[in-house]
Structure 1
Amino acid sequence: MQARGHHCSRQVVRKHLAALRTGAAEPVRADIPSPRKVTSWIMRARETLTESQGERLLQVRLACPDITRACDLARAFADLVRHQRGYLLLEWIRQAEQDAPKPMKGFAGFLRQDLDAVTARLTLPWSSGVVEGHVNRVKTLKRAMYGRASFALLRTRILTQS
C-alpha cells in the first residue's frame, strides 16, 4: 500500500480489515457533488463544461428525474434571458407549472404575477438597473446617517456623491 502512495500505519489497516471481516465497516461513499456545483454545471453553456463535468452532470441527471426536468427548464430560461426572447416566456411558464419540481413551479408562479414587467425586461433593450443602483446608494447613506445628522446634511451628501 505504501508503494502505491498510501500513508497509513499497520494498525489502521488491521482495524479496517477487522471491521470488514465482522461486517461493521462503513461502505465507501460515492463522491456526490454539492448542489452549488451541480447548479453551476447546469447554468453554464454546454460548450464550456469540461468532459468530466459533462459526464458528472449526466450521471446526476440520470440519477434524478426531477433534476433532469429542472435542468432543462433552467437552461431554457437562461436562453430566454440571454437572447431576450420575452415572447416565449408565457410558454416557458406553462411548461414549468405543468410538470416541474415544486421550487420551479413556485418560481414560474412568481413570474406570472408580474408577467408584463418580466416580459418587458426580456423583450425591450432598456433597463432600470442604473436607477435601482442610485436608490440603493441613497438608502445606504440614509441608514448610515440615521439619528446622527440633519436632513440638510443628508441632502448634501446625496447630491455630492452622484
Structure 2
Amino acid sequence: MTTSPPRRTLDTAERLQRLLTHCPELDRAHTLVRAFAAMFDSGGPGALPDWLNQLETSRLPGLPSLANVIRDDLPAVVQAITSPYSSGINEGRITDVKLQKRLMGGRAKVPLLRQRVVLIAHLRQHVTAG
C-alpha cells in the first residue's frame, strides 16, 4: 500500500487489487494512504485539511487519533510535505543501529555493531538499486 504504484511489480499490484476488492476497509485505508503520498509527490499541502477530515470520518481504527496527532503538529507536517529534503535515510540508519543493538542483546561492542550496520547499509543499497 505504501509503495508508489509505478514501483509495484505486476504480481504485487494484482495481489493488492484482490485484497482491496475483498476488503472495503482496506480499500478506504489505501485510498487515504495514496492521497497522503500524493501530497508529498506534488509538494502541496493544500489538500491536508480535507484529508484530515476524511481520516476523522473514516471510522477506521486509529485514523481519527492519527488526525488529531497530525493537527497537533501541523506546521511540522506542512514543512515535511513542502520541503525538498528528507530525513528518511538517516531514520533508516538509526533503526538499523537500534535493531542490531537489540539483536546482540548487549553482548556486542562498538566495532562489531559498526561492522553489522555497515553490512546492512551495503545490502540496503543493493536492494533499493535493483
| TM-score (norm: length of structure 1) | 0.48
Output one character per residue of 1:59-92: Cα deviation in whole Å (capped at 9) or x when no partner: 1111211110000101111121233212221111
* Aligned ranges 1:54-133 → 2 under 5 Å: 54-125=13-84
Distance 1:47 1:126, change over 3 A: closer
RMSD: 2.5
Q: CA deviation at 1:100?
A: 4.6
Structure possessing the higher relative contact order (Cα contacts under 8 Å, 6 or more residues apart): 2
Query: Take 1:58 and 1:124, find their aligned partners in 2: how far apart are those partners?
Result: 32
Greater Rg over alpha carbons, structure: 1
Kindly tell me the number of residue pairs found equivalent between the two proteins: 90
Query: Take 1:126 and 1:54, find their aligned partners in 2: how far apart are those partners?
Result: 29
Partner of 2:100: none
* Aligned ranges 1:26-41 → 2 under 5 Å: none
Q: Once structures 1 and 2 are overlaid, which stretch shifts more, 118-127 or 66-75?
A: 118-127
* Aligned partner of residue 106 in structure 1, secondary structure: helix
Structure 1 residue ranges, 4+ long, deviating more than 6 angstroms after superposition: none
Q: Point out where structure 2 has 5 or more consecutive residues left out of the alignment.
A: 95-130
Sequence identity of aligned pairs in percent? 29
| TM-score (norm: length of structure 2) | 0.58
Q: Which amino acid aligns with 1:106?
A: S
Query: Take 2:59 and 2:35, find their aligned partners in 1: how far apart are those partners?
Result: 13
* Aligned partner of residue 102 in structure 1, secondary structure: coil
Distance 1:105 1:58, change over 3 A: same
Query: Take 1:51 and 1:120, find their aligned partners in 2: how far apart are those partners?
Result: 34
Partner of 1:7: none
Q: Point out where structure 1 has 5 or more consecutive residues left out of the alignment.
A: 1-41, 137-162
Q: Which has the higher helix share?
A: 2
* Aligned ranges 1:116-155 → 2 under 5 Å: 116-125=75-84
Query: Take 2:84 and 2:5, find their aligned partners in 1: how far apart are those partners?
Result: 26
Query: Take 1:92 and 1:72, find their aligned partners in 2: how far apart are those partners?
Result: 10
